[in-house]
A = this chain, B = another copy of it.
């Protein structure tokens, strides 16, 4: 009772043809006369037959499934990540693809990594998308080397342009420049920076872009004012709290590597009795869904995650379907959004 108990051999018998012909009809082979095709189709419809998926895969057919792998040490309660997941599913579904998702708590967990790799090796998916990966994550590189198609968010490897590699980024340089220009325009000279995860591509990239943008105004970056963090609200909070206790001089502004970190920093600042923007200005990056809602509304750099994910998903699918595709990289633009968290000094 728990199986679709009719198979191609039954269909063939009822239609009075061979399984070969049934298969040809299903797979739209051109060399089937219209009359035969219709006769077979009628039987297929009548019995609600659809070919067994696993059996088809074993013959090397596509799975119409894209893998989505989230690399995240903590439970995923971040609205932004949730939205990214939704966007992948949305984009893939609209193209008739299923999405097979799994969370990788740690890339050091060999069993989970193994399961994820098997997903490719065993052809459960046609290609995969990775969110939260370190730049140059070895097991992903291994998959790419094996020829599997992989789409990676926030990744950059100089010179790696395999046709089965699809990557996407934002224009961090442009974004950081706009943010720093704006702060400098407000009169800020002493600007702290909360850095992102050094292992992720955009961590060092935003940091470097920040330094370049400062240098363009002939401003120095005070090493005591560069805080470590990892893109999470929690670490933004902890890092800022610790830093506030350790320093004597305060900058007039803080540029956080992203909005989540800015949320954490804001909380730490408030707890230390500092008001934003009256006592200190705070700038984020990403334009998180909540950024316009918090108190004070966060001035930030807007990037378009939905568009990026849609592009990435689309290109992964296109690459899967047409192996002659070339290396693809998407770089989303960035734009300053002025709200209430920065003020003139």
Which A residues are closer than 8 A to B by beta carbons?
A: 1-4, 50, 52-55, 57-58, 65, 70, 75-77, 79, 81-83, 85-86, 89-90, 93-94, 96, 98-103, 114-115, 118-119, 121-124, 146-148, 289-290, 293-294
- A/B interface sample: 11 pairs, CB < 8 A: A50-B122, A54-B54, A54-B55, A54-B58, A55-B58, A70-B89, A77-B86, A82-B83, A89-B102, A100-B100, A290-B293
Q: Is the CB–CB distance between A101 and B103 below 8 Å?
A: no
A52 to B121 alpha-carbon distance, docked (Å): 8
A124 to B75 alpha-carbon distance, docked (Å): 26
What residues on B are CB-neighbors of A124 within 8 Å?
A: 53-54
SS class of chain A's interface: helix, strand, loop or mixed?
Answer: mixed
| Residue of B52, B85, B102, B119 touching A122 (CB-CB under 8 A) | B52
What residues on B are CB-neighbors of A1 within 8 Å?
A: 146-147
A114 to B85 alpha-carbon distance, docked (Å): 24
Q: Is the CB–CB distance between B99 and A102 below 8 Å?
A: yes
A86 to B2 alpha-carbon distance, docked (Å): 29
What residues on B are CB-neighbors of A94 within 8 Å?
A: 103
A329 to B81 alpha-carbon distance, docked (Å): 30
A102 to B100 alpha-carbon distance, docked (Å): 9
Question: Which residue on B lies nearest to A89, using beta carbons?
Answer: B101
A124 to B124 alpha-carbon distance, docked (Å): 9
Question: Which residue on B lies nearest to A70, using beta carbons?
Answer: B89
Question: Which residue on B lies nearest to A148, using beta carbons?
Answer: B2
| Residue of B79, B83, B100, B121 touching A65 (CB-CB under 8 A) | B100
What residues on B are CB-neighbors of A4 within 8 Å?
A: 118, 121-122
What residues on B are CB-neighbors of A76 within 8 Å?
A: 86, 89-90
Q: Is the CB–CB distance between B123 and A79 below 8 Å?
A: no
A222 to B104 alpha-carbon distance, docked (Å): 53
| Residue of B57, B83, B89, B290 touching A103 (CB-CB under 8 A) | B89
A217 to B123 alpha-carbon distance, docked (Å): 62
Q: Is the CB–CB distance between A101 and B98 below 8 Å?
A: yes
Question: Which residue on B lies nearest to A4, using beta carbons?
Answer: B121
Q: How far is the CB of A51 from chain B (nearest CB, A)?
A: 8
What residues on B are CB-neighbors of A50 within 8 Å?
A: 114, 118, 121-122
| Residue of B57, B96, B98, B115 touching A100 (CB-CB under 8 A) | B98
A294 to B294 alpha-carbon distance, docked (Å): 9
Q: Is the CB–CB distance between B90 and A121 below 8 Å?
A: no
A124 to B125 alpha-carbon distance, docked (Å): 12
Q: How far is the CB of A62 from chain B (nearest CB, A)?
A: 12
Q: Is the CB–CB distance between B103 and A53 below 8 Å?
A: no
Question: Which residue on B lies nearest to A5, using beta carbons?
Answer: B121
Q: Is the CB–CB distance between B90 and A86 below 8 Å?
A: no
Q: Name the 9 nearest CB pairs between A and B, nearest first.
A: A4-B121, A82-B82, A53-B122, A93-B103, A54-B54, A293-B293, A54-B57, A82-B86, A2-B147
